[in-house]
Chains A and B, each alone.
Chain A
Amino acid sequence: MNYFPDEVIEHIFDSIASHRDRNSISLVCKSWHKIERCSRKKVFIGNCYAIDPERLIGRFPCLKSLTLKGKPHFADFNLVPHEWGGFVHPWIDALARARVGLEELRLKRMVVSDESLELLSRSFANFKSLVLVSCEGFTTDGLASIAANCRHLRELDLQENEIDDHRGQWLNCFPDSCITLTSLNFACLKGETNLAALERLVARSPNLKSLKVNRAVPLDALTRLMSCAPQLVDLGVGSYENEPDPESFAKLSAAINKCTSLRCLSGFSEVAPRCLPAFYPICQNLISLNLSYAAEIQGNHLIKFIQFCKRLQRLWILDSIGDKGLEVVASACKELQELRVFPSDLHGEEDNDAAVTEVGLVAISAGCRKLHSILYFCKQMTNAALITVAKNCPNFIRFRLCILEPNKPDHITSQSLDEGFGAIVQACKGLRRLSVSGLLTDKVFLYIGMYAEQLEMLSIAFAGDTDQGMLYVLNGCKKLRKLEIRDSPFGNAALLADVEKYETMRSLWMSSCDVTLGGCKRLARDAPWLNVEIINENESNGMEQNEEDEREKVDRLYLYRTVVGTRKDAPSCVTIL
């Protein structure tokens, strides 16, 4: 029974934004379920094949914002064929036909076509925000449709997509009447940009807070852009290869000095180190700095810059910063919450002393006590370092460590890194995401199963000894949602031990493990509410050859819970059991 009229309850629900909380609310009673679903504006779908658009619209007719994720995470590393799936078109089509008042669409790892973008741009009069992350399949022609037809567009954010750049005039397609832009990010475009069109667009967008340009925008253009947008909060710089002459440098400095609201800085591909000093005036305001694409800037220049960024909360950097650089970060950036250190040179191997090691990681943990998220690529690690890090930073929510060489042990004791990771999961009670690497036995999974109570996502590569390892995780981590494993000796016994577990998870990925076709078939039989997908090497031979031999090991297995059964759009290299 409700003590309040529905409108009041709806009003209360309006202040609850988290989709998880709203999901919980909808389970309380039928009445709340109804009120909740009719008032829901934002929906998040972590796996686009778990549900279909018709059911989505049926349940949430008033939805305004939709987030969809397509391909599994390992697609980022070329482990999933391009045509595997994740097509957004059926969704846009269904939303258009149902006349949903869509205003925002956020896609990750989906296949988007120019047709889809055109349909999107024409179907939703109030469309405001398009965010595409790691998507592919479209060209700048599709962007032109969005620019031309979305009268109220506020945000166009393209992050790390594969876009065919037709060098067209998509920027010109924004009509003169378009003055509502708040965010424009086209850093991932590879071709030339119509600078004049861009400058006119920026000049007539007084609300523009975030601008991230691509490589093709040179220094003098950047100066002009910043001059007409001093209100910018988030800037992605393109490239400027040549050292600027004193006059250009002075103009750039003047423009930067006016951008007193600037808080986030990124880009800097192909940048001459001397240009970085131009940004010194705004260093102390920065809360986010992404120099992970700035391969040209050497460690010492980076250090000089970062030491002034006292308010930094987020730092993405290349390992060329070195341990010394990280020590500077540790002493200067006391507000740091998130750090990502990417490798800068994959072929340098042993002769590269400048890259980061466990020493840098320990220094960061000692200096940056607010750190809660880390992604760290390095060549070596020790248990002692990890144990120290765990002691220093028990607040980790995300801990992702990637030791570049598979199976590498503690480089001082030559032991496995079980104890180190064990210390991390034991100390960090709020840990939600973990990626492990280096030499690891089943023991590390015993620790993970025992201590990582909040763990939702676990990534495993080249680790473990027997099925027991995987079993520890499946049995122990009650909140596990995504498990992705590659090149580890886990087989059918682990896969089949607790089929019901997969109903509590979004998905499981296993590649180059020991599960066999027979095991997967059995799983598919026992759990019809799962889609069990086998991804094969070759499109043509598919399953015919292997049908006879159920002992054949499966190359790539991807399974996920779904309420809509087998999908119809799988390519021939994918077999759904």
Chain B
Amino acid sequence: MRDRSELEVGKSNLPDESELELGLGLSLGGGAWRERGRILTAKDFPSVGSKRAADSSSRQGASPPRSSQVVGWPPIGSHRMNSLVNNQATKVAKADKEEEEEGEGKKKVDEAKDVSMKVNGKVQGLGFVKVNMDGVGIGRKVDMRAHSSYENLAQTLEEMFFGMTGTTSREKVKPLRLLDGSSEFVLTYEDKEGDWMLVGDVPWRMFITSVKRLRIMGTSEANGLAPRHQEQKEKQRNNPV
């Protein structure tokens, strides 16, 4: 059990204290402590924020963020990271199958609410998935464990990307904007086999075990589900020949 003061020893140029109220309790040097959300905080998950804060505080008091919650940390190459996430997703999927076969009805009900699942008594998370949006320079990461439904996820993504860009020309967001095809954007994902699919077609639980990354793309591009071809054109446009 460690409190914040220990970690602040020796740091003479701390940013403004008020900006350190992340609900995660770690004081770090550096300048990214603004509402730019480089580090995912409870604010990024309004619907599950209190749950997460409650979780971490009940377990560890004012403890540091888990290493997996800081962007780009631990310093593992994205290729390897994806492989790790995949493996954990596979384990969860296998555990799922086993549990269904054993007919543990009660557990199923619990799991519909709580995305973190237990495998052999250990908690297996599904980890962070990269999200990119067309036209936005920097990608984000979203914790699949922290969501329980498509609506949940869509809401988080809306806040991440539309809250940040600050351009008012985009449509006012609606709750199911990303899922009902009515806006200019569509949410797609890459599955374990490397295929790009529209989000929303399969049951949520199946989705979270197979999603590897997410992409918010313009509706026109997603037509006919040929995103890969369109992706290449994007890349070529960026490539000065």
Interface of A with B (CB < 8 Å)? Answer: 74, 76-79, 81-83, 87, 89-90, 93, 111, 113-116, 134, 137, 139, 160-162, 164-166, 188, 190-191, 269-270, 292-293, 295-296, 342-349, 351-352, 377, 402, 404-407, 409, 414, 416, 435, 439, 441-442, 459, 461-462, 464-466, 486-489, 491, 511-515, 536-541, 553-555, 568-569, 571-573
Query: Does B238 reach chain A (CB closer than 8 Å)?
Result: yes
A461: B residues at CB distance < 8 A: 73, 75
A115 x B32 contact (CB < 8 A): no
Could you say which of A87, A111, A293, A347 contacts B124, with CB atoms under 8 Å apart? A347
B228 x A539 contact (CB < 8 A): no
A190 x B194 contact (CB < 8 A): yes
B90: A residues at CB distance < 8 A: 270
Could you say which of B6, B70, B123, B238 contacts A571, with CB atoms under 8 Å apart? B238
A406 x B228 contact (CB < 8 A): no
Q: Of all chain A residues, which has the CB nearest B231? A: A164
Enumerate 6 A-B pairs (CB-CB under 8 Å) in ascending A order. A87-B240, A90-B241, A402-B74, A409-B6, A515-B31, A537-B137
Q: Which of B116-154 contact A (CB under 8 A)?
A: 122-125, 127, 130, 132, 135-139, 141, 145
**Proximity string of chain B (1-44) to chain A, C-beta cutoff 8 Å, 1 when within and 0 when not:** 00000110011110000000000001011111000101000000
Could you say which of B28, B31, B124, B164 contacts A406, with CB atoms under 8 Å apart? B28
B239: A residues at CB distance < 8 A: 87, 89, 111, 113, 115-116, 137
**Proximity string of chain B (62-74) to chain A, C-beta cutoff 8 Å, 1 when within and 0 when not:** 0010111011111
B228 x A540 contact (CB < 8 A): no
B80: A residues at CB distance < 8 A: 160, 292-293, 342
Query: Does B206 reach chain A (CB closer than 8 Å)?
Result: no
A74: B residues at CB distance < 8 A: 72, 75
B139 x A78 contact (CB < 8 A): yes
A404: B residues at CB distance < 8 A: 67, 74
Q: Of all chain B residues, which has the CB nearest A79? A: B72
A514 x B30 contact (CB < 8 A): yes
Given A342-B76, A512-B30, A537-B38, the answer on whether A348 and B122 have CB atoms closer than 8 Å is yes
A442: B residues at CB distance < 8 A: 10
B166 x A347 contact (CB < 8 A): no
Given A348-B122, A514-B31, the answer on whether A406 and B12 have CB atoms closer than 8 Å is no
Could you say which of B13, B122, B137 contacts A538, with CB atoms under 8 Å apart? B137
B13 x A76 contact (CB < 8 A): no
Q: Of all chain A residues, which has the CB nearest B235? A: A137
* Closest CB pairs A-B (n = 9): A573-B137, A553-B31, A347-B125, A512-B30, A539-B137, A489-B29, A190-B194, A77-B72, A160-B79
Given A76-B75, A555-B38, the answer on whether A465 and B11 have CB atoms closer than 8 Å is yes
Q: Give Cα A439 to B8, complex, Å.
A: 10
A164 x B164 contact (CB < 8 A): no
Q: Which of B139-185 contact A (CB under 8 A)?
A: 139, 141, 145, 164-167
A134: B residues at CB distance < 8 A: 77, 79
- How many B residues touch A, CB cutoff 8 Å? 63
A414 x B6 contact (CB < 8 A): yes
A89: B residues at CB distance < 8 A: 239-241
Could you say which of B67, B73, B127, B228 contacts A164, with CB atoms under 8 Å apart? B228
Q: Give Cα A113 to B232, complex, Å.
A: 8
Query: Does B47 reach chain A (CB closer than 8 Å)?
Result: no
B11 x A489 contact (CB < 8 A): yes
B77 x A77 contact (CB < 8 A): yes
Given A344-B84, A512-B32, the answer on whether A573 and B138 have CB atoms closer than 8 Å is yes
Could you say which of B28, B139, B164 contacts A82, with CB atoms under 8 Å apart? B139
Could you say which of A83, A414, A459 contacts B137, with CB atoms under 8 Å apart? A83
A441 x B76 contact (CB < 8 A): no
Shortest CB-to-CB span from B123 to chain A, Å, is 7
Query: Does B57 reach chain A (CB closer than 8 Å)?
Result: no
Could you say which of A161, A345, A554 contacts B88, with CB atoms under 8 Å apart? A345
B136 x A539 contact (CB < 8 A): yes
A555: B residues at CB distance < 8 A: 31-32, 36, 38
A352: B residues at CB distance < 8 A: 122
Given A405-B64, A538-B138, A539-B136, the answer on whether A293 and B166 have CB atoms closer than 8 Å is no
Q: Of all chain A residues, which has the CB nearest B74? A: A404
Could you say which of A345, A402, A486, A573 contacts B72, with CB atoms under 8 Å apart? A486
Among A116, A188, A538, A573, find the residue whose CB has the most chain B CB atoms closer than 10 A: A538
Among B29, B32, B165, B236, find the residue whose CB has the most chain A CB atoms closer than 10 A: B29
Shortest CB-to-CB span from A459 to chain B, Å, is 8
Q: Give Cα A459 to B72, complex, Å.
A: 14
A539 x B135 contact (CB < 8 A): yes
B232 x A114 contact (CB < 8 A): yes
